[in-house]
Amino acid sequence: MADLETFRAEVRDWLAANYPASLNAPMSEDEAPWGGRKMVWKNPDAKLWLERMGARGWTAPTWPKDYGGGGLSAEEARVLSQELARIHARPALMSFGIWMLGPVLLEYATEDQKRRFLPPIVRGEIRWCQGYSEPGAGSDLASLQTRAEDRGDHFLINGQKVWTSYADQADWIFCLVRTDTTKKHEGISFVLFDMTSPGVEARPIKLISGSSPFCETFFDNVKVPKDQLVGKLNGGWEIAKRLLQYERQNISAGGFGGGAGLELEEVAKGYVGLRAGKLADADLRARIAAHKMDAKAFALTVRRAETESKAAKGPSPAVSIIKYAAASLNQAKHELMLEAMGTKGLGWDGEGFAPEEIRETRAWLRSKGNSIEGGTSEVNLNVIAKRVLGLLDHQ
Ligand SMILES: Cc1cc2nc3c(=O)[nH]c(=O)nc-3n(C[C@H](O)[C@H](O)[C@H](O)COP(=O)(O)OP(=O)(O)OC[C@H]3O[C@@H](n4cnc5c(N)ncnc54)[C@H](O)[C@@H]3O)c2cc1C
């Protein structure tokens, strides 16, 4: 324990000397530190912050030092995140590489692959995207048809992915491909490749909001060296499922995009007003109180599950319960928020609305995707039924 307190003091000193003061202002969405070669840094201090945190391996605190990580124990990593929260530090890096790919590389990759791919993830030099969904393979992901043919020293990849978040901004992709057409789950492999490879095209999908967070991603005779296959040939399904567990765990731990940074209770007090020291709308008050209790119980459950998953060296299928609950809670919060704001919660642009009101309208719309991304709520209920409760005895 004394060691941990020494570590806390060291972290505090380091943060005092290294966290750039200019980052104390709230972070806007276009400042999100995704890193990678295409990142345009609005504030050079955000880049400096990433470089400093990356050099210590603190963007991936528990990964081994050999692969660029911080080499911290789970307890030390908790101290680090407490100290970062204490000074309201911005994230140094937001990264599919840290949240999803890195953990499976640590489990399944060869030593050479770990040394090649993990350090640039930690330093935020390479931005990754996730090539899973296809037009005919979403919930039934194992129906995927993107084909990888064995051409001796390389695979030749042809096919299409869809809903590939930020594919147009990414440097590399982790991608599920079919390497055996005679089998379903056992015919899938997990490969990594550079998005600048000839034959890769990412076309942004424009949403009604005007933004384009997703792409259709096309592969036309893309050559991928064989040493970029992770795990066994036709053994990709196991890795794919494992990665989804990490994705669901991360989403549940607060990784839903598009938050407006508003507190439900404060918003309700501000817009609805108080009567005798209580929220003036009794019905809304009761529902906000119920939501707060659910949110508190959920936060405690997440903490317990995190401890259990660390003890078990990784998440279990039970993370589907958390993902399901996290999606429902986040959507319920935004519904309550909008209800409290009344017509002020329906702004899109223009001068009649404050910037945070417009951000909240967009965050409410963004929350609709929470029950779809990382596997839909219905699919997660199926996983819970089959793999957690053992109600059905097949895949
Ligand atoms: C914000 C966001 C980001 C995303 N980012 C990525 C990304 O980066 N990379 C990527 O590969 N994909 C990404 N996706 C795609 C996502 O993984 C898929 O949308 C999701 O898996 C569902 O697939 P689908 O859209 O094809 O819907 P479908 O599978 O067609 O499902 C349609 C409906 O049928 C229901 N359904 C389907 N099968 C069953 C069943 N067996 N039992 C009960 N109900 C069922 C579903 O729950 C859903 O309501 C993203 C999606 C969102 C919303």
Question: Is position 301 within any domain?
Answer: yes
Question: Is position 167 within any domain?
Answer: yes
- 372 within ligand 1 shell (Cβ under 6 A): yes
Place of tokens 């020291």: 277
Write out pLDDT tens, residues 92-119. Answer: 999 999 999 999 999 999 999 999 999 9
Active-site residue, from 247, 357, 360, 373: 247
Write out pLDDT tens, residues 231-264. Answer: 999 999 999 999 999 998 887 776 565 566 678 9
- Identify whether residues 296 and 262 lie together within a single domain: yes
- Identify whether residues 186 and 280 lie together within a single domain: no
Q: How far is CA 242 from the centre of its chain?
A: 14
The Å distance, Cα 117 to ligand 1 centre, comes to 28
- 130 within ligand 1 shell (Cβ under 6 A): yes
The Å distance, Cα 378 to ligand 1 centre, comes to 10
Question: Is position 51 within any domain?
Answer: yes
- Identify whether residues 271 and 360 lie together within a single domain: yes
Domain count along the chain: 3
Split at pLDDT 50, 70, 90, the class of 311 is confident
Q: How far apart are CA 172 and CA 192, in angstroms?
A: 7
Which protein residue has the closest C-alpha to ligand 1 atom 15? 163
Q: Give whole-number Cα distances, 268 to 174, 251, 265, 272, 295, in Å.
A: 42, 26, 5, 6, 16
Domain boundary among 94, 109, 143: 94
Assigned token pair, 24: 């104390």
Write out pLDDT tens, residues 5-51. Answer: 999 999 999 999 999 999 998 888 789 999 999 999 999 999 999 99
Question: Is position 366 within any domain?
Answer: yes
79-111 burial, b at 16+ Cβ within 10 Å, e below that, comes to: bbeebbeeeebbbbbbbbbbbbbbbbbbbbbee
- Identify whether residues 171 and 295 lie together within a single domain: no
Domain boundary among 200, 235, 270: 235
Q: Which atom of ligand 1 is nearest to the CA of 378?
A: 47
Question: Is position 373 within any domain?
Answer: yes
- Identify whether residues 271 and 382 lie together within a single domain: yes
Domain boundary among 46, 70, 94: 94
Give the pLDDT of residue 259: 62
Question: Is position 294 within any domain?
Answer: yes
Assigned token pair, 218: 């096309």
- Identify whether residues 259 and 206 lie together within a single domain: no
Q: How far apart are CA 358 and CA 71, in angstroms?
A: 41
- Identify whether residues 132 and 226 lie together within a single domain: yes
- 166 within ligand 1 shell (Cβ under 6 A): no
Q: Which atom of ligand 1 is nearest to the CA of 382?
A: 42
Which protein residue has the closest C-alpha to ligand 1 atom 29? 139
Q: Which contacts of 343-352 are long-range, i.e. CB under 8 A and separated by 24 or more positions?
A: 344/271
- Identify whether residues 152 and 223 lie together within a single domain: yes
Q: What is the Cα Rg of the chain in Å?
A: 22
Q: How far apart are CA 352 and CA 120, in angstroms?
A: 45
Q: Give whole-number Cα distances, 141 to 134, 268, 330, in Å.
A: 8, 41, 25
- 132 within ligand 1 shell (Cβ under 6 A): yes
Its domain, for residue 371, covers 255-388
- 381 within ligand 1 shell (Cβ under 6 A): no
Give the pLDDT of residue 305: 80
- 164 within ligand 1 shell (Cβ under 6 A): yes
217 close to 167: Cβ distance less than 8 angstroms = yes
Assigned token pair, 175: 């991608």
The Å distance, Cα 103 to ligand 1 centre, comes to 23
Look at 37-46, 193-202, 208-217 and tell me which has the smallest mean pLDDT.
208-217
From 130, 133, 195, give the residue whose CB has the most ligand 1 atoms within 8 Å, as the site to mutate.
133
Q: How far apart are CA 57 and CA 63, in angstroms?
A: 8
Give the pLDDT of residue 351: 86
Which of 137, 135, 113 is closest to 193 using CA atoms? 113
Q: Which residues 6+ apart lie within 8 Å of 368 measured at CB?
A: 331
Write out pLDDT tens, residues 109-159. Answer: 999 999 999 999 999 999 999 999 999 999 999 999 999 999 999 999 999
Three-class DSSP labels, the chain: CHHHHHHHHHHHHHHHHHCCHHHHCCCCHHHCCCCCCCCCCCCHHHHHHHHHHHHHCCCCCCCCHHHCCCCCCHHHHHHHHHHHHHCCCCCCCCCHHHHHHHHHHHHHCCHHHHHHHHHHHHCCCCCEEEECCECCECCCHHHCCCEEEECCCEEEEEEEEEEEECCCCCCEEEEEEECCCCCCHHHEEEEEEECCCCCEEEEEECCCCCCCCEEEEEEEEEEEEHHHEECCCCCHHHHHHHHHHHHHHHHHCCCCCCCCCCCHHHHHHHHHCEECCEECCHHHHHHHHHHHHHHHHHHHHHHHHHHHHHHCCCCCCCHHHHHHHHHHHHHHHHHHHHHHHHHHHHCCCCCCCCHHHHHHHHHHHHHHHHHCCCCCHHHHHHHHHHHHCCCCCCC
Query: Rounded to the nearest 5°, which phi and psi values hold at 225?
Result: -55, 145
- 163 within ligand 1 shell (Cβ under 6 A): yes
Stretch 155-178: mean pLDDT: 98
- Identify whether residues 269 and 222 lie together within a single domain: no
CATH code assigned at 215: 2.40.110.10
Q: Please name every residue paired with 222 in a beta bridge, in sequence order, or none if there are none.
A: 157
- Identify whether residues 205 and 160 lie together within a single domain: yes
Give the pLDDT of residue 310: 73
- Identify whether residues 212 and 259 lie together within a single domain: no
- 375 within ligand 1 shell (Cβ under 6 A): yes
The Å distance, Cα 305 to ligand 1 centre, comes to 25
Question: Is position 323 within any domain?
Answer: yes
CATH code assigned at 306: 1.20.140.10
Write out pLDDT tens, residues 365-380. Answer: 888 989 999 999 999 9
- 371 within ligand 1 shell (Cβ under 6 A): no
Q: How far apart are CA 211 and CA 135, in angstroms?
A: 21
The Å distance, Cα 9 to ligand 1 centre, comes to 45
Q: Taking the CA of residue 345 as centre, how many other CA atoms within 13 Å lie in the half-sphere pointing to its CB?
A: 21
Assigned token pair, 89: 């530090």
Catalytic site includes residue 306: no
Question: Is position 117 within any domain?
Answer: no
- Identify whether residues 214 and 259 lie together within a single domain: no
The Å distance, Cα 264 to ligand 1 centre, comes to 29
CATH code assigned at 76: 1.10.540
- Is 66 a residue whose pLDDT tops 90? yes
The Å distance, Cα 163 to ligand 1 centre, comes to 9
Q: Please name every residue paired with 190 in a beta bridge, in sequence order, or none if there are none.
A: 176, 230
